[in-house]
Amino acid sequence: MDDNPYAFIIDELLNDDHSHNCFENNNQYDELLNDDHSYQSRYMLLNVISKGSYGIVYRAQDMNTGEIVAVKHEFHGLSRPTLREIRILKSLPRHPSIVQFKDTIVEDRDRVFVVMEYIENDLERLMNVENSRPFTLSEVKCLMKQLLEGLAFLHENGVMHRDLKPSNILINQVRGQLKICDFSLSRYFGKASGSYTPGLVTLWYRAPELLLGAKEYSCAIDMWSVGCIMAELLLKEVLFRGNNEIQQLESIYMLLGTPDHHHITCPRFSSTFHNAKRPYNHELRLKFATATYFSGAPLLTERGFELLEKLLTHDPLKRITARAALHHDWFKEYYGFLNLTDSE
């Protein structure tokens, strides 16, 4: 057993995605409580950073050290997602592209707080600032390199993130650092692929195999999300914007086409797509061919577009891995590359 205070129960919970709260009928719950440890005794809440269906994230000050931290109040208490996030963050070694875990406070069944390092911005917020300039190619490369380094680290340690999107990517604007956060939908995997809960990952960043209801999938779903994020960084707009799963698939096939080997076999979508065939990636190439910087330089070189194609490949078995993507020639091109963290 490791030093995780939840280790005696958490292992049996990690392989089940379905139950909302794992302690509804568990008399071991009381053993997790620490009556002498409340967030008010150590952290002073300063302001709300974000709010969602999962909970509220506050900017707070550690009154023992003076450090500014992020405190997430989990709405669903000690649910499986919360336990899984705690286990993953505590068990992983430190990595510069993964948000740092600091503390967990369990006051009662519905009052669970996860304390992490504070980063002032996320990628979605930066991209949505009105009248802000697009990221330069050097900035995109710097961010993509850090994102891929963090994801390669997760995958090589047996973790699928399962909800990569701009709001789950934190950015330190002063130092140019990127950190992946929010592991509430993440899970460990024991093999290259397996049978897991379908329908995860926010819709706009969800891989085609998940949209088609696949339960057998791998960490390749994270790589699809990375491709969507890469395109969004360059274009400053969401690449595939559907309101539901059918529209999302339509959006993907409109831009990427339907390759000959890819057939629609999901009954609920078969009447919509009829195995439609479009030139593979033709519309995506046109979209980037007509988009340039103010200087007239293209958003992507041919090598850059090759990497994007490898990320946005329909077949998950052919989708590029995070480690392979880090070694792609796009990062070796002198044009448009500057690693902002090298000067630190």
Q: What are the catalytic residues? A: 163
Q: Contact, 309 vs 320, CB < 8 A? A: no
Give Cα separations from 99 to 9, 84, 166, 179, 201 (angstroms).
25, 15, 14, 5, 19
Give the separation between CA 312 and CA 234, rounded to whole angstroms: 15
Tokens of 33: 């409580």
Q: Is residue 43 left, alpha or beta, with left meaning phi > 0 and alpha meaning psi from -120 to 50?
A: beta
If DSSP codes are grouped into helix, strand and coil, which group holds residue 201? coil
Residue 293 neighbours by CB under 8 Å, 6+ apart: 134, 136, 137, 299
Quick one: DSSP state of residue 165? -
Tokens of 206: 């969800």
Q: Which own/partner contact pairs does 290-295 have at CB distance under 8 Å and 24+ positions apart?
A: 291/234, 291/235, 293/134, 293/136, 293/137
